[in-house]
Chain A
């Protein structure tokens, strides 16, 4: 009963604090929206187009580029605007369709289409390779139309329409593709990526920053007053643990609910997801309580804690998938509990994993939680010792 009273008193303070609620719910949701919007970009190259010809053929080329599923196309009014976007990495290459393209092609003259991109920038070179293929396919139809017009004496326009119809026929050499696996090593794109990673990041940061409350309680002498009352140090430790766990679970539940209802996130196997959320909340609880006993001032807790949280989040794959970094960094990243939590979410969301599939990750997380809680409770008992 005493434990619940201690936990209840702390919980009431948090509920009354509008700013705490901002960090509990509003901030994580905002970050989920922003990161989700950026991470929703499918595996495509962002390509800019400047059409200086404004003709039927230049429009059909721009249309082909926009239709290519490997390309995410945006148009620019001028070459200068497109080059600025390319320099700022807003696009990976800029395609410039020169003035006179239509007239030259109809007259059977070749046209040079410029794809801007640094020769030493492999991102841009890959994008140039992707647009080259689409432009080549367009050029094949133009070649066929010009050839047929010359052979048959009919107009270029009718022959281009004919070539367009024939191009999807069986007479072309196809490039087929086949995926050899289905077991993704990274989280799905969009909110399925941002929601679980931000849950991991924010539950941890919020728990760490919550250490400030413990420091205020200590500074106000409330622990001393509690110990003076018929309350044992063990009851205070349990009360503090209960409130940290409750905050972490509440924040997790809110993110899960908002993720599922607003952003359509599929959290995977319910039993496995619940176990993972609970285990991660325990890790946060241990980290938050340890922060509360380690830092001397609330300022230290509210400033250093987010820093540690962000660093561990980066290291553990909350900001980018560890699959895209080198093997050394990937191994180093697993020193952070975040990496194991993200691995487990990846198994649940990307590979439809079950509790059995994430038991290894859960065991490691449970180890982190146990270690943090043991150290934190020992330090707190030391603080409470008369």
Chain B
């Protein structure tokens, strides 16, 4: 067997014997993916239960109830009829309802009659809770959408009269306005994407984060072997120094690819994660692990002792994970953070995984992250090589 494989196998055996590699490479990311999947099962989609209190019993209140039962809203809203306002308040307070909409007495008469008279209309009241801010906003939006047409008609008459139309024509104008429809229609169109579920983001995010720990392991083992004279003994054998480096690089590569692949397959089989084109996902894993190998070389070139290697590796690992978006959903972050994430290989890998899982099409989906990760790897590799040469000369 080639000495490269012998050294790689020895490193892997040593790492797995310690069990920490198994925990970091497999148990931790899978555990976190499982936790994510269970925690957000049925909870990672927006849905609210809204109470409707009809104190008006008029035609507009009936129309409002029908509007709220619109099938297009079923995915977002479940409507529950509540007998009175006090009950609605109690149900909102205890969380049974996200919010409640009260149709006040006289709503129909005031809203339709006021168009002609210009009298103040009785409005809808939305009862909200501090614990369901978004639910309150959606309820306000739904109530607003309903009153928009009523408002449009009233406003049309009021504007015409303010512009000089005689008030005596109010009834006639009101009848004419009632035939109009608001001219700006909203048409909802899908774009054919899949939702970005928590497990689809955090499974690769955590897998990459824990694979980054291999930088510290390997760099530490290099210095501990150097301290124990192992490197000198290998150098005394008919093995070139590059063979030792390639052996160590191969062990990191094999460990990293195995870890990432296991997480992707496991989450796909058991948690319904979708990774799009398998070749694309594989290439992203390989590119990311090559970047980890080169980062390991950089740490070895930078450090002088085991402790230094451990510290530098930890700073690199947590720095990349923080910037790249491994701890937080980067899509929810401010634009500056999304841009900073693209300075890191893990940020690009995560973007690639997000694009694959949400159904992006075209070669650019994979090519762009691969080129960016390769550029990062090249730059870090050149720096590591220059530092290593200086170190060797010294």
Contacts and interface: CB of A to CB of B under 8 A. Distances in A.
A210 to B, nearest CB: 14
A173 B121 CA distance: 5
B150 interface: yes
A50 B48 CA distance: 29
A323 B322 contact: no
Interface stretch (A116-124, A257-265, A366-374): A116-124
Question: Interface range on chain B: under 10, 10 to 19, 20 to 34, or 35 or more?
Answer: 35 or more
Nearest to A301: B20
B39 A325 contact: yes
Query: Chain A interface mostly helix, strand, loop or mixed?
Result: helix
Interface in B126-178: 126-131, 133-134, 136-138, 140-145, 147-152, 154-160, 162-165, 173, 176-177
Contact of A31 (B120, B193, B310, B322): B322
A27 B31 CA distance: 23
A19 B165 CA distance: 79
Interface string A112-131: 11111111111101101111
B304 interface: no
Contacts of A299: 18, 20, 217, 220
A307 interface: yes
B75 A105 contact: no
Interface residues of A, number: 112
A175 B141 CA distance: 9
B238 interface: no
A100 interface: no
Given A143-B152, A310-B32, A311-B32, A177 B328 contact: no
A55 interface: no
A43 B182 contact: no
Given A87-B193, A324-B43, A115 B186 contact: yes
Given A171-B118, A175-B147, A177-B125, A166 B42 contact: no
A136 interface: yes
A140 interface: yes
B141 A133 contact: yes
A87 B191 contact: yes
Interface in B342-370: 351, 354-355, 358-360
Interface string A11-31: 000000111001100010011
Contacts of B20: 297, 299-300, 303-304
A129 B164 contact: no
Contacts of A307: 23-24, 27-28, 31, 210
Interface stretch (A34-42, A232-240, A245-253): A34-42
Contacts of B147: 172-175
Contacts of A329: 38-39, 43
Q: Which of A46, A138, A171 has the most CB of B within 10 A?
A: A171
A381 interface: no
Contacts of A128: 186, 188
Nearest to A333: B39
Contacts of B375: none
Interface stretch (B4-12, B225-233, B329-337, B382-390): B329-337
Contact of B318 (A27, A169, A325): A27
A117 B361 CA distance: 18
A130 B73 CA distance: 12
Contact of A88 (B148, B176, B196): B196
Contacts of A87: 191, 193, 355, 358-360
A133 B240 CA distance: 72
Interface string A59-103: 001000000001000100000000110111110000000000000
B19 interface: yes
A324 B199 CA distance: 15
B265 interface: no
A341 B35 CA distance: 20
A229 interface: no
Contacts of B378: none
Given A87-B193, A87-B358, A43 B134 contact: yes
A268 B121 CA distance: 44
B38 A179 contact: no
Contacts of A311: 28, 31-32, 35
A179 B125 CA distance: 11
Contacts of B311: 17-19, 22
A154 interface: yes
Interface stretch (A180-188, A220-228, A286-294, A355-363): A180-188
Contacts of A90: 331-332, 338
3 smallest A-B Cβ distances: which pairs? A43-B133, A19-B311, A174-B123
Given A42-B133, A74-B335, A112-B185, 4 more contacts: A115-B189, A117-B191, A143-B156, A175-B144
